[in-house]
């Protein structure tokens, strides 16, 4: 799940911008001309971001380490600790489904908005 998220350029760029409080980001919807015969474009949304929460900051730090490190292994210790604070079911290192981790991770970051 984390490897897939690390390869999502929109998420990486948004987290990079979100780490600075008071930042306004512009989110543009892709053109839907490939899906139908009419070409139209939605207006971009401008969103002012508050101070990011600890889970969002940990996610940004982890994705940055995955992209920039020359080390062979990156461990998500801080990110995992923040996920466990939001969803205690992940404490104890028991086996969990990856889609549950994804859901709790994204829901937790959304709750920090």
pLDDT digits (tens, 9 = 90+) for 25-63: 666 665 444 445 555 556 777 767 677 889 989 999 999
pLDDT at 32: 42
Helices (H), the chain: 2-6, 9-18, 54-68, 77-86, 98-111
Q: What are the backbone dihedrals phi and psi of residue 48, each rounded to the nearest 5 degrees, phi first? A: -90, 125
Is the CB of residue 15 less than 8 Å from the CB of residue 56?
Answer: yes
pLDDT at 96: 76
Question: Is this structure's pTM higher than 0.85?
Answer: no
Q: Which residues contact 99 (CB under 8 A, 6 or more apart)?
A: 1
Reply yes or no on whether the pLDDT at 107 is more than 60: yes
pLDDT at 55: 92
């Amino acid at each position: 799940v984390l490897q897939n998220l690390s390869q999502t350029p929109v998420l990486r760029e948004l987290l990079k911008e979100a780490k600075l409080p008071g930042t306004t980001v512009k989110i543009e919807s892709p053109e839907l001309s490939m899906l139908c015969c009419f070409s139209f474009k939605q207006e971009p949304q401008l969103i002012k971001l508050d101070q990011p929460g600890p889970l969002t900051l940990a996610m940004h730090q982890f994705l940055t380490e995955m992209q920039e490190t020359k080390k062979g292994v990156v461990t998500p210790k801080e990110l995992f600790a923040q996920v466990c604070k939001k969803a205690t079911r992940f404490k104890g290192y028991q086996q969990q489904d990856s889609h549950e981790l994804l859901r709790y991770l994204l829901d937790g970051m959304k709750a920090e908005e």
